Every structure is written in structure tokens, then in C-alpha cells.
Structure 1
Amino acid sequence: MEQIAQFLKAAEDYGVIKTDMFQTVDLFEAKDMAAVQRTLMALGSLAVTKNDGNYHGDPNWFMKKAQEHKREFTESQLKEGKNVIGLQMGTNK
């Protein structure tokens, strides 16, 4: 049980968020193995996303998390965007 707690601490230190983590008893007493699997998937996804050399398997096994992609728009581009009629407005058929 102590080793499970050490694993959870290491996963948290690596960056897995608390809501993705299982409880120690979930694995120790095999109560919620789906939660254990979700934690392992979150850890794998994080390792593939970080790409820091800690994961050496097939990266296609895990989803890669979205990365921030900032965009800079000029004032003229923002003005042009206000003139576009969105598809949410419906059609005039």
C-alpha cells in the first residue's frame, strides 16, 4: 500500500492533476480498476505531451494533450471579423 502511495505522489509531482488520480484503496482492494486505468492513461498522455524522454513506448497508445497556440490579430483583421455573418444566424433559403 505504501508503494501505491509513492506512485501517486510521483505521478502528482510529474503533473497528473488530482481529479485524474485514483485512491490507494481503489487498487489495493481492487475496488475501482477503471479509476486506476484512467490514472495510467492520464499519466501516459502527459508523458507523450511533455516529450521529455521519460516515455519510450509507442506514442500512439495515448492521446496527446492540446498545446497552447496564441494568435495575434491586427485591428483591421478584428474589424473584418465583425462583418462576417456566422453560420449560427441561419440561412435565407
Structure 2
Amino acid sequence: MANTAQARKRARQAVKRNAHNSSQRSSLRTAIKSVKKAIEAGDKEAATAVFSKTVSIIDRIADKKRIHKNKAARHKSRLAAALKALSQKEAA
């Protein structure tokens, strides 16, 4: 346990910050799963709508440095490619 008042306060802040950051990462994962689920269902309109919301969430979390910007770009790229493949599958 922390010995000084400053260390005790920093420990309290760390717990609070950890909970907030974990919550944001969880919402990110949920958003990504919702896009994947819509794509697997084959619903292009729903997938497109959810994709735009998810991209916003990914960008917001990357701007706050909860995840690395390259990881954010990788997620967006893979989701966009899956959405494009769905579109091409429907067209064929």
C-alpha cells in the first residue's frame, strides 16, 4: 500500500483511469463485433450504417491514445475490405 498521501491519491486515480480506459476498449471491441455480425448476416445497409458509427468510435479512441493509431487504421481497413467484399458478393 502507498505510504504518502500523494501516492494514495495516485493509486486512486490509477484505478479510476484504468476502469474508464477498459470501458472504452470494451466499447471498441463491441462496435467491431457488431460490424462483423452485420456483414456475416449479409445485410449491406445495416453493415454500412454500423460501419460509419464504428469508424467514429475507432477514431475517437485512437485520438485519445487508448489504442495505437496503426491498430485503429488496421481495424478500419479490414472492416472496410469486408464490407466491400460483401458489396461485390451481392452484385455478383
**Shorter-chain TM-score category?**
0.3 to 0.5
More helix by percentage: 2
